[in-house]
Amino acid sequence: MKNFYSVFFIIIGLTLALGVNSLPTYAAEQVTTLKFSCQFPAVHKVALLKIEWGKEVEKRTNGKVKVEVYPGAVLTPPAQTYDSVKKGIAHVGETFASYTSGRFPLTEAVDLPLGYKSALQGTRLANAFYKQFKPKEFDDVQVMFFHTAAPQIVCTKTPVYKLEDLKGMKIRSTGTSSQIVQALGAAPVAMSMGEAYDALSRGVVNGVVGPVEVIKGWKLGEVVNNCTSYGSAHVNAAFVIMNKGKWNAFPKDIQKIIEQVNEEFAEKQGKLWDELDKEGEDLLIKQGGKLIKLSKEEDARWKAAVKPLLDDYVKNSKAKGLPGDEALKFVQDFVAKN
């Protein structure tokens, strides 16, 4: 009888051990498919990079995580992307913070007219800013990474050489860009870049604020042929985010893999934006368009015109209980040092 019980308990022990050991194998076989909402057209290289991001995630997780990218804002409109990801309508999403003005008040520091030189500079700043301040405005989602397009310029149907040339013009812009347009004397018209081509074609607007990349990437070279750059240029912060429930459901090893991919692709994205800007500039010149650089005196006028926006940012942020002065100093120091 004693031998019987010994054998019985050995069998039970082995059964339990095998059961426990089989759990990770079962979990490892689970496949999660993420729906990624991307606002850029399917042929745009930014959309193609997001497809590459998804493939890299799938590769490094050995197929445990798959990503389906929906380009052209077919899954969620740009202004609704954050809430759509929060609610799980999309699992991953990408959009610009400026499309919902006031929604990301602390992060708006990145969009200020600080005199950016490149998209890579802006991208590195945006990610450093998030790591430094961890704005609560993103608490409802899991941030993948930030990026910015190249420095914003003014692309118009008629050339702009001085502030007076902007007077009376209606310029497509969003968020801080709208404030800058207004400070420069033009009338801002809020819309996403995807709506700009039609608006320019129909005369709803006379120009757009954006990187010169839009000449090729959004085919705006077909409806505008003048772009004016200025020294106090700004950028627009974009973010890639994931639904928090989806993120929290991943084991730590999967999360770590995705974080590594994010870090690499933030750099790739910044560099890509600068490459796309060069392509847009080349196409503009090839088509006989003008890339206008302000005179030193005129550039100083533009800088003086937008400077009050920095003070307004601090004032408005502090009124909301946010460290606006610290945020402004951080972005100014970063641009100056990098």
Query: What does the mean pLDDT of the chain come to?
Result: 92
Report whether 59 contacts 65 (CB < 8 A): no
pLDDT tens for residues 93-112?
Answer: 999 999 998 999 999 999 99
Q: What is the mean pLDDT of residues 59-64?
A: 98
Query: How high is the pLDDT of residue 157?
Result: 97
User: What's the pLDDT band for 158 if we cut at 50, 70, 90?
Assistant: very high
Q: What is the mean pLDDT of residues 233-243?
A: 97
Query: How high is the pLDDT of residue 217?
Result: 96
Classify residue 288: in a domain, yes or no.
Answer: no
Q: Domain span at residue 125?
A: 30-100+118-148+236-277
Query: What percentage of residues in the chain have a pLDDT greater than 70?
Result: 91
User: What's the pLDDT band for 239 if we cut at 50, 70, 90?
Assistant: very high
Q: What is the mean pLDDT of residues 291-308?
A: 97
Q: Is the pLDDT of residue 48 over 70?
A: yes
Classify residue 220: in a domain, yes or no.
Answer: no
Task: For 303-314, give one letter per residue: b (16+ CB within 10 A) or e.
Answer: eebbeebbeebb
Taking the C-alpha atoms of residue 74 and residue 85, their distance in angstroms, rounded to an integer, is 14
Report whether 316 contacts 324 (CB < 8 A): yes
User: What's the pLDDT band for 10 if we cut at 50, 70, 90?
Assistant: very low
Classify residue 257: in a domain, yes or no.
Answer: yes
CATH assignment at residue 266: 3.40.190.170
Query: How high is the pLDDT of residue 98?
Result: 93
Degrees, nearest 5: CA angle 100-124-330: 80
Q: Is the pLDDT of residue 32 over 90?
A: yes
Taking the C-alpha atoms of residue 270 and residue 149, their distance in angstroms, rounded to an integer, is 7
Classify residue 226: in a domain, yes or no.
Answer: no
Contacts with 312 (C-beta within 8 Å, 6 or more apart), sequence order: 179
Q: Is the pLDDT of residue 307 over 90?
A: yes
Query: How high is the pLDDT of residue 27?
Result: 47
pLDDT tens for residues 78-97?
Answer: 999 999 999 999 999 999 99
pLDDT tens for residues 250-291?
Answer: 999 999 999 999 999 999 999 999 999 999 999 999 999 999
Classify residue 90: in a domain, yes or no.
Answer: yes
Taking the C-alpha atoms of residue 205 and residue 252, their distance in angstroms, rounded to an integer, is 49
Q: pTM for this one? A: 0.89
Classify residue 260: in a domain, yes or no.
Answer: yes
Classify residue 59: in a domain, yes or no.
Answer: yes
Classify residue 271: in a domain, yes or no.
Answer: yes
Direct distance between the N- and C-terminal alpha carbons of the chain, in angstroms, rounded to an integer: 80
Q: What is the mean pLDDT of residues 217-236?
A: 97
Q: What is the mean pLDDT of residues 25-51?
A: 87
CB neighbours (10 Å) of residue 73?
Answer: 19
Q: Is the pLDDT of residue 24 over 80?
A: no
Query: How high is the pLDDT of residue 247?
Result: 98
Helix, strand, coil % (nearest 5) of the chain? 55, 15, 30
Number of domains into which the chain is organized: 1
